[in-house]
Structure 1
Amino acid sequence: MTKKELSPLEKLKASRNPLRVIDDIYKEAQEGIPLSDDYIGLLKWYGMYPHINSQNLEDKKYFMKRIKIVDAKINLEQLEVLAKIGQKYAKGLVDFTTRQNVQFHYIEIKDLPEIFKLLDSVGLTSRMASGDGPRPIMTSPIAGIDPEEIYDVSHLVKEVDSYFDKNDDRFSNFGRKYKLGISGCGRHTANHEVQDVAFTAFKTEDGDILFDFTIAGGLSKSKQIAYRTNKYVKEEQVKDVAAVCAEIFRDHGNRENRNKARVRHLVNDWGLEKFVEEIETRLGYKLQDGFEEPQITPHENRNHFGIYKAKQEGESFIGFATNSGRIAGEDFQSISNICKKYGVKGIALTPTQNFILYGIKTQDAQTVADEIDALGYPYAPTPFRARLQSCTGNEFCKFGITETKEFSKVVVKQLEENHPDFKENVTIAISGCGNSCSHPQISDIGFVGTKVRDENNNRVEGYDVILGGQVCGVEGSRFAHKTGVKVTADNLVGFIGDLITSYKTDNLNTSSFKEYLNEVELNK
């Protein structure tokens, strides 16, 4: 009797390592063997999701594809390849994400073999860009470049990423995703407060470098600011601690309820003390006590817009703003061309969906800044363009209730036109659903997609309004509060305008617009 051939999904369920199954799938794809619908559930481990959960066959053939950027940096050769993929295979739609990765749209299965060859030719991959395992590590976009950084963690990020990749049989089939942050940024751009596990560098009074160790942060519907473990981690311990936390989550995370399958739920179920004890038991040693939180930069100041001198002699780096994280394919190609023209070393992605060019000859810096600015990506952006983030929305995401990307681009332009003199730092996030991928819960003004009734009692796209979010270390962070106010998409710009006008009229004795948003009471 012949042994029954397992389907791809049966293979996945029988395997602790879905990546091995998927590697076989792509070998078949490269040999021209068609991929059936049975494979679609496996594709997320290679950063791919169907655009929309639709019965329309035309919709079902397209995918979003996420490219894993290991240390937030893309060198010149990689940039050229990504620009080519964006133009040739993605219909010119490129998004920068809040986890410092690149997302393409309109990808078709038939193009995967060629796309993978292109990625492999410059050392890029989408393997483990998503799926139920360790996600790409959040870090400083200019580690090793910024002279004001606390510590260059580039080698640590690569070491930890490589460790998970080489041991994928142990780390690729969790109950759900596992999000890490490792940063030595002087402006704390990696948002450690909302990571599952994070290591944030600081310098002691004696000049030594240690990492403040935080766990159990996260957004979405079960939002939570991370806990300080009251432990400091040494540089040589970072990889082992990250791996042990992953092992604990793998072994004890909730596999029965996907909504409870995150590190924060496990920590809350066990208690922080028990979780830390388990870490130290598996490590075989005690971590250094660390009861004092380092000084942390407020959320609104975590950026590097403008022209700066780099650590490297004769080099500079420049921070630019996108508009809601979307880059037109032709603009992406133009940025690549400009970088090649001036010998720029590469581009780094920020957690705010913006980007930094690095390795620029200082004598060329102003010229490069002006040429990129002329494309529509300013290095001295308005407050609205600098810090307005948006998720994928219902254009491509099956969870999206509202369209966000193209809508947000219009919102930014209208706010700039209506309020040219507004100069205060403000973070705004527009999310298509309650999963909050654009971070409305930690923004000054957050909009969460829903359906509302317009003045004619028609159900239209709209948003729940939340105000006053902030991240500034574990002790100084807070989530935005619900206002009970709903606005239609058509009235969103006017709503922000009314807030600005009321602040200028009566600031309620506050010192900033940010502070005002936590004091003002809205008419429901």
Structure 2
Amino acid sequence: MTDRADGAPSARVRPAATRTEGQWAYGQREPLNSNEEIKKDEDPLRVRERIEEVYAHRGFATIDPADLRSRFRWWGLYTQRRPGIEGGRTAALQPEELEDEFFMLRVRIDGGRLDLAQLRVIAGISTEFASDTADITDRQNIQLHWVRIEDMPEIWSRLEKVGLSTTEACGDCPRVVVGSPVAGIAEDELIDATPAIEEITARFVGDPQLSNLPRKFKSAVTWLADVPYEINDLAFLGAVHPEHGPGFDIRVGGGLSTAPMLAQRLGAWVPLDRVPEVWEGVTRLFRDYGYRRLRNRARLKYLVADWGVERFRAVLEDEYLHHRLEDGPPPVLPDRPIDHIGVHRQRDGRYYVGAAPVVGRTSGTMLAALADVARAHGSTRIRLTPHQKLLVLDVAQPQPLVRALRGLGLEAEPSGWRRNTMACTGIEYCKLAIVDTKQRAATVITELEQRLRDQHIDISINVNGCPNACARTQIADIGLKGQVMNGPDGSQVDGFQVHLGGSLALSRDSDGRVGRKLRGLKVTADELPDYIERLALRYLAGRSDADESFAHWADSAPEEELR
């Protein structure tokens, strides 16, 4: 099989037992849902021309709905939620009733790498065009809010002058490539994966042949197990081959949302210089064989689940790579999970300092001050982590920097609660959300820091405003999925369904598992501090020893202990 001149695959013969899923590889090219119709009509990347030449001059009211609610995403733009709409009305309203005339803008930061010039530009855009908003996401991006369509040409111009973009930051396309925030400087790293990430983004981001995938495509390339590689569609994780030396293990088919699945090993190993080739092969395979009939089955994980990894690997090798991959061993995981908070030595003898904003919330003002502080302490490089944290690299004397960061509200010696809590955007801006997340999580952190200040407790809390798991609820020690529920007096209040004991295989003593859902276990938002305090104290009293993790304890604890 070879691709046609327009980038589409030539039709293959569909096995008789294969259900029609809208797969291009079998010639199933007719639009099967409204999203596919919109993408068929026009490459979504082309909408930028209309934004710059038409909508930025004529205003929000002139935007074609197909552009507004679909194609804009390929340039990192989502309409944000109109203020004042209660969570209970989220599912009942039409998009035009939910959306405001302002946008969330996602700045793409592959591998989480920023220099100070880039940081200052983001800070300036935030303060001038985005009401001083700036949230660090759990995929190493920065999201701005209150952005007007009229300002997008100037925003793009400023970003692109310093090598940043919003290209394919959202949409059915290759999203940001997650990478280790300490790539190239970590003492225990054998290969710096940065060249592979740079080649992937230079060659394939914005490529029209890959801009129409069945759904979003998330990938990670890292030597260290310091990113959540198991929940990506495609992940390359450092592994040493017994004959060929350091390279990368390959996993496919990860993803969360309403049907969580962890990525599976292909059993294959590749050297650094072939990572982009394999990345392209998997992406094209997804484009051609991915399911397009039903939107809720269009992620790669469903194809991997139906095919199995053996068939997936065979198709990848035979039809896309045209050679066999080397069999390889699994990665050797570290003794403990890595989050990079605090002071750490680099391989060159200098230090990096990891700091925790509260659930990823920063501002343009804070980022501008961070650039000044970093410069004053000899650093020109900032890194964002996939846990809503940030690092300052290349520091000779770290303790003065720790104190300076604290003055900005960036804590390098945080409590366990601040260190281990994440939250999605929530009802403040998101049209899908049902409850508040950022402020609620911040309140919980403050309460627990006071109530349990004398206890050392390592428990992760992930707070999500809806079932879509943007904050990775199913793989946290305590995952909180927002919903409206009945309060003590019978009235409807904000609440959360609770997931317990989820984890990823980020160390030798942990494994990837989706958290438990106990029947009827729901907690109102106001009850969260009491519930988590009660659960934490039961964990401390009931664990088998000081090294037993919360996830392991929660997996086997009696149900009454978890309520």
TM beyond 0.5: yes
Question: Are 2:216 and 1:177 aligned?
Answer: yes
Q: Which moved more, 1:504-513 or 1:134-143?
A: 504-513
1:109/1:45 CA distance change after superposition, 3 Å: same
**2:527 maps to what in 1?**
491
Q: 1:377 aligns with which of 410, 415, 421?
A: 410
Q: Distance in 2 between matches of 1:205 and 1:233?
A: 13
**2:166 maps to what in 1?**
126
Q: Distance in 1 between matches of 2:333 and 2:252?
A: 16
Q: Which moved more, 1:436-445 or 1:333-342?
A: 333-342
Q: CA deviation at 1:11?
A: 10
Question: Are 2:81 and 1:52 aligned?
Answer: yes
Q: 2:344 aligns with which of 296, 305, 308?
A: 308
Q: 1:438 aligns with which of 471, 474, 485?
A: 471
Q: Which amino acid aligns with 2:363?
A: A
8 A Cα contact 2:138 2:387, kept in partner: yes
Q: CA deviation at 1:509?
A: 6.3
8 A Cα contact 1:16 1:172, kept in partner: no
Question: Are 2:119 and 1:79 aligned?
Answer: yes
Question: Are 2:315 and 1:278 aligned?
Answer: yes
8 A Cα contact 2:173 2:213, kept in partner: yes
Task: Trace 1:234-313 onto structure 2 (pairs within 5 A).
Answer: 234-281=271-318, 282-290=320-328, 292-297=329-334, 301-312=337-348
1:136 aligned counterpart, secondary structure:
strand
**2:44 maps to what in 1?**
18
8 A Cα contact 1:463 1:487, kept in partner: yes
1:237/1:521 CA distance change after superposition, 3 Å: same
Q: Distance in 2 between matches of 1:175 and 1:100?
A: 23
Percent identity over the alignment is 30
CA RMSD of aligned residues (A): 2.3
8 A Cα contact 1:150 1:203, kept in partner: no
Q: Distance in 1 between matches of 2:308 and 2:98?
A: 48
1:17/1:500 CA distance change after superposition, 3 Å: same
Q: CA deviation at 1:63?
A: 0.9
8 A Cα contact 2:187 2:346, kept in partner: yes
1:483 aligned counterpart, secondary structure:
strand
Question: Are 2:107 and 1:67 aligned?
Answer: yes
8 A Cα contact 1:424 1:513, kept in partner: no
Q: CA deviation at 1:33?
A: 4.5
**1:3 maps to what in 2?**
none
1:60 aligned counterpart, secondary structure:
strand
8 A Cα contact 1:297 1:472, kept in partner: no
Q: Which amino acid aligns with 1:177?
A: K
Task: Trace 1:339-358 onto structure 2 (pairs within 5 A).
Answer: 339-358=374-393
Q: Distance in 2 between matches of 1:493 and 1:254?
A: 42
Q: Distance in 2 between matches of 1:245 and 1:18?
A: 21
**1:387 maps to what in 2?**
420
**2:10 maps to what in 1?**
none
Q: Deviations over 1:152-175 (max 9, x none)?
A: 011111011112126x11111111
Q: CA deviation at 1:95?
A: 0.7
TM-score (norm 1): 0.91
Q: Distance in 2 between matches of 1:258 and 1:327?
A: 34
8 A Cα contact 1:175 1:261, kept in partner: yes
1:410/1:153 CA distance change after superposition, 3 Å: same
TM-score (norm 2): 0.85
Q: Distance in 1 between matches of 2:284 and 2:42?
A: 13
Q: Which moved more, 1:24-33 or 1:327-336?
A: 24-33
1:446/1:14 CA distance change after superposition, 3 Å: closer
Gaps in structure 1 of 5+ consecutive residues:
1-8
Q: Which amino acid aligns with 1:287?
A: L
**2:183 maps to what in 1?**
143
Q: Distance in 1 between matches of 2:215 and 2:96?
A: 29
**2:494 maps to what in 1?**
461
1:40/1:423 CA distance change after superposition, 3 Å: same
**2:24 maps to what in 1?**
none
Q: CA deviation at 1:389?
A: 0.5
Task: Trace 1:2-41 onto structure 2 (pairs within 5 A).
Answer: 13-14=39-40, 17-19=43-45, 21-29=46-54, 32-34=57-59, 36-38=62-64, 39-41=67-69
Gaps in structure 2 of 5+ consecutive residues:
1-34, 83-92
2:292 aligned counterpart, secondary structure:
coil
Q: CA deviation at 1:85?
A: 1.3
Q: 2:373 aligns with which of 335, 338, 342?
A: 338
**2:443 maps to what in 1?**
410
Q: Deviations over 1:225-276 (max 9, x none)?
A: 1111111122222111110111111111111111101111112222322211
Q: Distance in 1 between matches of 2:51 and 2:423?
A: 32
Q: CA deviation at 1:333?
A: 2.3
Q: Deviations over 1:46-89 (max 9, x none)?
A: 11111127778896211110000022111000011111111121
**2:514 maps to what in 1?**
479
Q: Distance in 1 between matches of 2:324 and 2:300?
A: 21
1:393 aligned counterpart, secondary structure:
coil
